[in-house]
Amino acid sequence: MALGFRAHVEAFGELVTITLISVSPLLFGGMIRWLQIDNSNLSFTSYEGAVDSFLVRGELFLYALAFIAIIAWTALREWPLGLRPPRVVLGLFCLISISMITIFYSLDAAKVALHVHATLILSKIMFAITLALYYLAAVLSKIEPPDLAAMLSESSGALASKLAEGRHDDH
């Protein structure tokens, strides 16, 4: 049940691939806005501002929600014995995150004025935490359950040999 380096590499590759595919329209749109002729500042800060202009209404929450759905699926599936605590942590994170996103969009739908900069920061923090927990869930999903049949066979073989030794000692 030990995790090797390969599980981490696979999980990291999965995270990077899915993240890049998911946010590529956002990054591309930001690049188009950044490269417009009326933008004379072609710095990284300017590019970040162009990307942020697409996220001022909490859109990054929706990006996070897609990953949260996958984390929830991972948390709900059957896990090997001994891995209950990560399952509980992932499940609680999903419940809290889904509740926060629902509240945010309920406030937005009710036209409650929210501070744009605070929304942007909170959505970035949630997205970063979600990516970290997605990575954890991906690594944990690489754990194979113990081969109970092999374990049972091994212990029954050991028991049979001890019983055989006991019979020989009696004679």
| pLDDT tens track for 31-47 | 888 887 676 677 878 88
Is pLDDT at 149 greater than 50 in this prediction?
Answer: yes
Q: How confident is the model at residue 77 (pLDDT cuts 50, 70, 90)?
A: confident
What is the torsional sign of CA 64, 70, 82, 132?
A: negative
**Region label for 11, one of left (φ > 0), alpha (ψ between -120 and 50) or beta (otherwise):** alpha
Distance, CA of 37 to CA of 44 (rounded, Å): 16
Is pLDDT at 170 greater than 70 in this prediction?
Answer: no
- Which tokens is 80 given? 């090997």
Q: How confident is the model at residue 54 (pLDDT cuts 50, 70, 90)?
A: confident
pTM reported for the whole predicted model: 0.74
As a whole-number percent, the residues of the chain with pLDDT over 70 amount to 78
As a whole-number percent, the residues of the chain with pLDDT over 90 amount to 33
Residues 7-27, mean pLDDT to the nearest whole number: 93
Q: How confident is the model at residue 1 (pLDDT cuts 50, 70, 90)?
A: very low
Please state the separation of Cα 1 from the chain's center in Å. Answer: 21
Is pLDDT at 17 greater than 90 in this prediction?
Answer: yes
Is pLDDT at 120 greater than 80 in this prediction?
Answer: yes
Question: What was the pLDDT predicted at 21?
Answer: 95
